[in-house]
Chain A
């Protein structure tokens, strides 16, 4: 059976780049530009591009036994987008495929599922894909939310490795605060408030930010409060579960929400002296793809670092969070 290991990661961001206005918000968030998909380009298109890059990096697609697809922007209500992806990627017909709907915590949940599938002996490997296009949900005149989110997709190949060592992916911690479901939401379009059957309501917020009930809404205050509340505890629990001290972690990679948020989280977790990834400059918040994009860039930029223990933490829409420690020493650059 063996232990589940991350073997390879690739990501794709759309060609089109949008620059944020040079203002106070941009200075604080640290997001100078974002990649935005085209009118007819959707999340599963980005997912295919990310997978093609992964296959070019040496992952044999004929080997893939299970496809996990994390998105909140499916092609259709039904069928499952992961099934469409299996067909378009020409994966084996013996490959399992399923979607799961999560946002900023999704990558951690995906790794947890992959570990379960592999270490229980159900499959030998998992292709975990994340892809999100919040730009399609955000009102173009919502000047407070639009500059935060960028589109993007990632593909991670996780495979069983025969080893007795306590490595791989460990210390999984999960959490949910479902009564905060309406703090980050697209209210209309699902079954509760069906598309076209609900009257359009217009809202105008601070700085003349405009949106309707058909658009993405984020209560920034509530989300900040939530993240500051749950992330330090989550990190603490992951360390406890793995029996590691703070300084034994080679790198901390959190969901890349924005610069000032990450700075405050670093402080409140007491990680000022640790290696802590904070890079939103050219991507913005890419939701479920932010952690794998960060990991990919980290591996590329810090080739000399041995990354045996990387602590990941995701938090956001749901409200949902999760954390774990991954070893990247089997990753082939």
Chain B
């Protein structure tokens, strides 16, 4: 989980600390670029192929974690 948060920090490349319960809507950097980065990170870091639709439905950082764990 810690590893995931570290990778998310990199994906988002933002100042604020990313936590599991952080709402994606509250992160200014959660944009199309971070979206694409997340899809790539899920595959590279966790070997998971995530569907863009599932990523779009995610509300919190934890929802994203559930897609790759």
Q: 11 pairs across A/B with beta carbons < 8 Å?
A: A24-B29, A25-B33, A28-B13, A28-B33, A207-B31, A225-B49, A228-B40, A228-B49, A229-B43, A264-B40, A265-B44
The answer to whether A164 has its CB under 8 Å from any CB of chain B is no
What's the dominant secondary structure at chain A's contact region? helix
Contact B13 A225 (CB under 8 A): no
Contacts of A221 in B (CB 8 A): 32, 35-36, 39, 52
Question: B residues within 8 Å of A by Cβ?
Answer: 13, 29, 31-33, 35-37, 39-41, 43-45, 47, 49, 52
6 A-B pairs closest in CB distance: A267-B44, A264-B40, A268-B44, A228-B43, A264-B44, A224-B36
CB neighbours of A25 from chain B (8 A): 33
B32 & A206 in contact (Cβ 8 Å cutoff): yes
Interface size class of A (residues with CB under 8 A): 20 to 34
Q: What does DSSP make chain B's interface, helix, strand, loop or mixed? A: helix
**Are B33 and A224 in contact, CB atoms less than 8 angstroms apart?**
no
Partner of A220, one of B32, B45, B47: B32
Q: Is the CB of B44 within 8 A of A24?
A: no
Q: What B residues does A261 contact at CB under 8 A?
A: 40
- CB contacts (< 8 Å) of B32 on chain A: these are 144, 206, 220-221
Interface digits, A184-204 against B, CB 8 Å rule (1 contact, 0 not)? 000000000000000000000
Contact indicator B44/A224 (Cβ below 8 Å):
no
| A228 contact set on B, CB distance < 8 A | 39-40, 43-44, 49
**Closest chain A residue, CB of each to CB of B45:** A267
Query: Which one, A144, A222, A260, contacts B37 given CB within 8 A?
Result: A260
Interface residues of A in 21-37 (CB under 8 A from B): 24-25, 27-28
A221-B32, A225-B39 given. 15 additional CB < 8 A pairs? Answer: A24-B33, A28-B37, A206-B31, A225-B52, A228-B39, A228-B44, A228-B49, A260-B37, A261-B40, A264-B37, A264-B43, A265-B40, A265-B44, A267-B44, A268-B44
- The residue in chain B whose Cβ has the minimal distance to the Cβ of A232 is B43
Minimal Cβ-Cβ distance residue in B for A223: B36
> Which residues of B have CB within 8 Å of A27?
13
Q: What separation, in Å, do the CA atoms of A28 and B29 have in the docked complex?
A: 12
B31 surroundings in chain A (CB, below 8 A) = 24, 206-207
List the B side residues contacting A260 at CB < 8 Å. Answer: 37, 40
